Amino acid sequence: MPSILCQKQVSETDWRDHFVLVNPQSRRADEEAAVAVAEADLAEAFAAKQNGGTDADLAMSLRSKGYLSVTGFRVIREEGDAEPEGAGYRR
């Protein structure tokens, strides 16, 4: 499923996983295809904001495509390696 990991800044240099937006209506056959959909949807949402929109317009763009907020998630970095919600790292 297309997914977008959202982080929050907890200090000047530290970011933490906050929640994930997932679109269960747009399942894809493989991870690469799901990532491509999420990237395109996110780019479209940011373009709406840049063209005179607000943060709410950005959020509504993703919601209109079927994205839902998920908390209590685990990030899988490598096969069998899950990090609990809130594990800190910066991309």
Q: Name residues whose C-beta falls within 8 Å of residue 66's C-beta, 6 or more positions apart in sequence.
A: 23, 24, 25, 26
Q: Is the pLDDT of residue 83 over 60?
A: no
Q: Say how far apart CA 79 and CA 90 lie, in whole Å.
A: 20
Residue 3 is predicted with a pLDDT of: 93
- pLDDT at 90 (0 to 100): 34
pLDDT score recorded for residue 81: 52
| 45 three-state secondary structure | helix
Domain-wise residue ranges, the chain: 3-84
Instruction: Report the C-alpha gap between 74 and 30 in whole angstroms.
Output: 19
**The model's pTM:** 0.73
Q: Is the pLDDT of residue 82 over 80?
A: no
All residues at 6 or more sequence positions from 28 whose CB lies less than 8 Å from its CB, including other chains = 1, 2, 34, 37
CA 88 to chain centre: 16
Q: What is the mean pLDDT of residues 18-39?
A: 94
